């Protein structure tokens, strides 16, 4: 494979169209419903009059990209790695895809749960990074909150440290493989909606919408798929502290062969800007594969 | 310069400096890796005002336990030996600088 595009929102789809038309073998990885555009009504994009469902435009864009030869894997990417001059993406079904170039286009992280107690207890039991903080919860009861494969992976990870792990997932979207791994590791699945994170100086319990409660000392919030900035770090691209990734006018990151476009490069979070950057990233990635240079 | 601290050298470093910032981190923590260059820049910029150290919480669990650290990165801040509210998580350089100098 020449080019992997992570994310199938407006930036990723436009990048796929240009990369595929530029004769690069291209694979798009992601789910259109994870794009911020999916639930949006579009009325400020050139050539589209009236309110148009973002989901409809995404669907057409996916078909269009496929018509130019881009392949689509409808899964989330759970990890990236470098292998010599190439890059390998691993998906939630353990599929591994290697390519010479990567375009990061899966948006920015919007991962707050927005329940009472979340902000107050951040750093006092509430964490957004199981991999960072697992060591502080040895022998303690913890909860992992989230519906995607990322949450399942964190629940599995925490079973190696905590005395008991609750995986709270109201509407599971994780892959069967990841669910099985979490269950086999001993995570207890709870299908409730979190209403409040409670405690005194530190977290002591979680209350659900039906007013039932569980006692925990740690709450790991792992919402959504891994964002572009999370994945970028796997391949040595360091995001800024606000989660954005800096690119130059060719949408190149400091790592050769890695491009970023769309919301992850910063504001404005607009479809027009995402599409523009997607085109630039797609053309430049295709040119990079052929050894040309596009400005 | 960022001084590498451990459970044995930590207290002396706090006692020996008026204003102290300690970056508590671990090798596998991605946000910690993002914060590290910011802390190095701050150490250089504030070298006349703030003593900056870093502590690997994986190797030095005594200090982590003593200060109730259960998330990293955490920045511990001390003025005249007294601990102030820590800064938890990845923060922009300006926020860290303003907080420390505002004590």
Whole-number pLDDT of residue A36: 87
DSSP B3: E
Whole-number pLDDT of residue A284: 97
Say if residues A159 and A185 touch (Cβ distance below 8 Å).
Answer: yes
Q: Give the count of alpha carbons within 13 A of A191, CB side only.
A: 3
Q: Using a CB-CB distance cutoff of 8 angstroms, which residues of chain B are in contact with residue A133?
A: 29, 70-72
Whole-number pLDDT of residue A83: 95
ipTM of the complex: 0.75
Q: Please tell me the CATH code under which domain A126-221 is placed.
A: 3.50.50.60
Residue of A132, A136, A241 with shortest CB distance to B91: A241
Please report, for chain A, how many H helices and E strands are present, in that order.
Answer: 7, 18
The shortest C-alpha distance from A202 to chain B (Å) reads: 10
Q: Does residue B6 register a pLDDT over 80?
A: yes
Coil, strand or helix at A286: helix
Residue of A132, A137, A242 with shortest CB distance to B72: A132
Whole-number pLDDT of residue A295: 61
| Mean pLDDT within B97-101 | 96
User: What pTM was estimated for this model as a whole?
Assistant: 0.81
Q: Determine the residue among B24, B25, B29, B30 to mutate to test chain A binding: the one whose Cβ has the most chain A Cβ atoms within 10 Å.
A: B30
Q: Using a CB-CB distance cutoff of 8 angstroms, which residues of chain A are in contact with residue B75?
A: none
Percent of chain B with pLDDT over 90: 85
Least-confidence region, from A148-157, B28-37, B72-81 = B28-37
Domains, chain B, ranges and CATH?
Answer: 3-101 (3.40.30.10)
A294 CB contacts (<8 Å, ≥6 apart)?
A250, A283, A284, A287
Boundaries of CATH 3.50.50.60 in chain A?
3-109+226-290, 126-221
B35 CB contacts (<8 Å, ≥6 apart)?
A241, B23, B25, B73, B90, B91
CATH fold of the domain at A3-109+226-290: FAD/NAD(P)-binding domain (3.50.50)
Residue of B29, B64, B93 with shortest CB distance to A132: B29
Q: Of the residues B26, B29, B36, B46, which is catalytic?
A: B29
Structure tokens at A258: 């890695």
Whole-number pLDDT of residue B30: 83
Coil, strand or helix at A126: strand
Q: Which residues does chain A have with pLDDT short of 50?
A: none
Examine the residue annotation and report whether B32 is marked as an active-site residue of this protein.
yes
Nearest CA in chain A to B95: A241
Coil, strand or helix at A232: helix
Q: Give the count of alpha carbons within 13 A of B19, CB side only.
A: 12
């Amino acid at each position: 494979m020449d080019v992997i595009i992570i994310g199938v929102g407006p930036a990723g789809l436009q990048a796929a169209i240009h990369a595929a038309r530029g004769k690069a073998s291209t694979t798009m990885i992601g789910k259109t419903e994870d794009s911020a555009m999916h639930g949006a009504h579009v009325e400020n994009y050139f050539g589209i009059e009236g309110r148009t469902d973002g989901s409809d435009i995404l669907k057409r864009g996916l078909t269009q990209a496929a018509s130019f030869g881009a392949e689509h894997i409808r899964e989330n990417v759970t990890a990236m790695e470098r292998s010599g001059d190439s890059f390998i993406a691993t998906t939630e079904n353990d599929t591994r895809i290697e390519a010479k170039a990567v375009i990061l286009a899966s948006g920015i992280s919007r991962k707050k749960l927005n329940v009472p107690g979340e902000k107050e207890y951040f750093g006092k039991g509430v964490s957004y990074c199981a991999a960072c903080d697992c060591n502080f919860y040895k022998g303690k009861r913890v909860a992992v909150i989230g519906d995607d494969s990322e949450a399942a992976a964190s629940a599995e990870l925490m079973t190696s440290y905590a005395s008991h792990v609750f995986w709270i997932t109201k509407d599971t979207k994780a892959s069967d493989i990841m669910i099985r791994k979490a269950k086999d590791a001993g995570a207890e699945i709870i299908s409730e909606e979190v209403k409040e994170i409670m405690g005194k100086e530190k977290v002591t319990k979680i209350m659900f919408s039906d007013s039932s409660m569980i006692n925990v000392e740690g709450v790991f919030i792992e919402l959504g798929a891994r964002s572009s900035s999370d994945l970028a770090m796997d391949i040595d691209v360091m995001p800024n502290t606000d989660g954005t990734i800096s690119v130059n006018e060719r949408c190149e990151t400091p790592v050769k062969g890695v491009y970023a476009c769309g919301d992850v490069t910063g504001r404005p979070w607009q479809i027009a800007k995402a599409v523009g950057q997607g085109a630039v990233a797609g053309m430049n990635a295709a040119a990079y594969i052929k050894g040309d240079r596009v400005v | 310069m960022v001084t590498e601290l451990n459970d044995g050298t930590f207290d002396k470093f706090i006692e020996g400096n008026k204003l102290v910032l300690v970056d508590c981190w671990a090798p596998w923590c991605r946000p910690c890796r993002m914060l590290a260059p910011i802390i190095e820049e701050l150490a250089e910029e504030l070298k006349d005002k703030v003593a900056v150290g870093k502590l690997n919480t994986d190797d030095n669990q005594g200090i982590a336990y003593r200060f109730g650290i259960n998330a990293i990165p955490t920045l511990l801040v001390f003025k005249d030996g007294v601990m102030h509210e820590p800064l938890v998580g990845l923060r922009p350089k300006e926020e860290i600088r303003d907080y420390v100098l505002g004590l």
